[in-house]
Amino acid sequence: MNDPYRQDAALLRGMTQRRLGRRDAFRLAGLSATGLALAACGVQGKGTARPSSSAQVESEVEKYWSGKAKNGHVDFANWPLYMDPKQPELKEFTKRTGISVTYKEVIQETTSWYAKIQPQLAAGQSIDYDLMVVTNSIQLTQLIKLGYLVPLDHGRLPNFTKNVGPRYTQEAFDPGNVYTVPWASGMTGIAYNPKYVDTPPTSYSALWDPKYKGKVGMFSDSQEIANFGLFAIGVDPDKSTPADWEKAAAKLTEQRDSGIVRKYYDQSYIDPLAKGDIWICQAWSGDIFQKNLSDGTDLKFVVPEEGATIWTDNFMIPKTAANPVDAITLIDFFYEPAIAGSLAEYINYVTPVPAAKDAIVADAAKASGADRKTLETIAESPLVFPSDEDYAKLRTYVTLGNSEEHKKFESVFQPITTS
């Protein structure tokens, strides 16, 4: 492509395993026994009450940002394989602003990252990073509750204000984006192989349909199956109660005991779906997009009429950051449509900047052959740019405010896939 700050679109092909590793890392966050133990340690320390009004937020923002100045450098912590290794966006940022960036792929899962930084933040010590990307999770909830994150000055985020999609200003885990703004996101919905499923599914009831007995794949992840069980009984996961959890677990147990489920999968569901070992299953949007792009399959992804879940990886600035002005400047840079488009061309996750689509279309027009087709596929994919109708049906995960709630949740749903 002509733009030196765009990567070669050919890099996008054959990279399914790269995306698998990222999504699998998310899957592990906070859901193992080790994760529960680590989450429990996060309640240590004295919490700081979240501002309860816009006036309080403005006061906190003014208090923190007053007198802060640009220093000319950012230390940025992110997940592996979440940016082109050539870092074209960061090079452009440095060229324009003079701010250098040290970028490290040091976050492998949410729980281990939280366990590493929590004691330092509790002691008011530097974690050696000014900017980090963390998934919506119990650990993120704790980071906010314990006052470990900087309240963002939206006056320094004009690109975010102008270009962010409306869905991302309504996050249940951080209303009003007081502490976080999204880096990228993805959806969990239903996938099916049209070779074996004649009628496209529109409802979660399809995963309980006896005609698919032994051909349904479900996730082994407790939170993912819980979400589907809750949708199946007509409850939004993000508004669910422990009583709802019990009803959803009963619904999922019924599905298991009737022999409808072939297997509870981790990331490995994608190949059985392509081969026809399973015909319909729970799925992550990025996996389906990447499988079709790299292998030429025609798997379909559906957001059911009851809704689906969306997970979000979020920018945030730790309270001990040495260079917060430089960090927030970098955050806002990624909300320029051309930059957001460049990033989406490489990672293929849902971008929080709808106008990035136009940037990708423009790049496709300048490209040719396979590169052009790949970019056109990305730009037109509802798995990268969900429709307004799909966004309206997306819900966040069950909100678990503390380790006790998390343990209760796991005790209800984990036996379904392990017994």
Do 39 and 81 fall into the same domain? yes
| 324 and 286 part of one domain | no
Q: Which residues of 6-19 are buried (b: 16+ CB within 10 A; e: fewer)?
A: bbebebbeebbebb
Residue 252 within a domain: yes
Is 100 a domain residue?
yes
- The CATH code of the domain that includes 239 is 3.40.190.10
3-state class of 77 per DSSP?
strand
pLDDT, position 260: 98
Q: Are residues 94 and 122 in the same domain?
A: yes
Q: Are residues 196 and 91 in the same domain?
A: no
- Asked whether residue 381 falls in the same domain as residue 352, the answer is yes
Mark whether 364 and 261 lie in a shared domain.
Answer: no
**pLDDT tens, the chain, 419 aa long:** 333 333 332 233 223 333 333 444 444 433 443 343 334 344 444 556 567 678 899 999 999 999 999 999 999 999 988 999 999 999 999 999 999 999 999 998 888 899 999 999 999 999 999 999 999 888 898 999 999 999 999 999 999 999 999 999 988 889 999 999 999 999 999 999 999 999 999 999 999 999 999 999 999 988 899 999 999 999 999 899 999 999 999 999 999 999 999 999 987 899 999 999 999 999 999 889 989 988 999 999 999 999 999 999 999 999 999 999 999 999 999 999 999 999 999 999 999 999 999 999 999 999 999 999 999 999 999 999 999 998 999 998 887 767 788 889 999 999 999 87
* CB of 11 closer than 8 Å to CB of 87: no
* Dihedral of alpha carbons 185, 189, 192, 197, sign: negative
Number of domains in the chain: 2
DSSP 228: H
Q: What DSSP element (H or E) covers 410?
A: helix 403-418
The per-residue pLDDT for 237 is 93
Examine the domain organization and report whether 167 and 288 are in the same domain.
no
Angstrom distances, CA of residue 398 to CA of 22, 262, 293: 21, 26, 31
Q: Tell me, what's the pLDDT at 6?
A: 33
Residue 183 vs residues 2, 133, 138, 328, 330: alpha-carbon distances, Å: 26, 7, 18, 13, 12
Residue 363, in any domain of the structure: yes
Q: Are residues 163 and 296 in the same domain?
A: no
The domain containing residue 180 runs over which residues?
Answer: 20-186+311-385
Examine the domain organization and report whether 153 and 198 are in the same domain: no
Whether residues 180 and 205 fall in one domain: no
The answer to whether residue 243 sits within a structural domain is yes
Question: Residue 38 half-sphere exposure, CB side, CA atoms within 13 Å?
Answer: 23
Residue 238 lies in a domain: yes
Quick check: 348 and 215 in contact, CB under 8 A? no
- Residue 393 falls inside a structural domain: no
Q: What pLDDT does residue 47 have?
A: 53
Give the model's pLDDT for residue 17.
31
For residue 117, is it within any domain? yes
Query: Are 273 and 333 found together in one domain?
Result: no
380 is a domain residue: yes
Say yes or no: 61 and 140 in one domain: yes
